[in-house]
Amino acid sequence: MKNIALLGILAVLVLEAGCTMGPKYKRPAVNVPQAYRTPEPQQATQALVAWQRAMVAALSGPVLTQLIHTAIAQKL
């Protein structure tokens, strides 16, 4: 039983040692085009507000109201 525990500990240590990158790891420089970068928070908020306004305009109106009343009347 003691040998199995030592073997398990040794296996964990060997696997853990394989995951280290070492002290000399340096992140490679990557040139990412500006189009792929995350937008500024203000731009993202403005885009969200514009999208929400467009959805409200598209989904509200007499056609939607009539569809809802029809669905309720037909118990859909």
pLDDT in tens, 22-71: 677 788 888 877 777 666 666 667 887 787 777 767 777 887 777 777 88
Q: What angle do CA 50, 64, 52 make, to 5 degrees?
A: 10
Phi-psi region of 75 (alpha: psi -120 to 50; beta: other; left: phi over 0): left
Do residues 47 and 39 make contact, with C-beta atoms less than 8 angstroms apart?
Answer: yes
Sorting pLDDT into bands at 50, 70 and 90, what band is 20?
low
What pLDDT does 61 receive? Answer: 80
CB-based contacts of 18: which residues, under 8 Å, 6+ apart? none
Q: Which residue has the tokens 């280290």?
A: 20
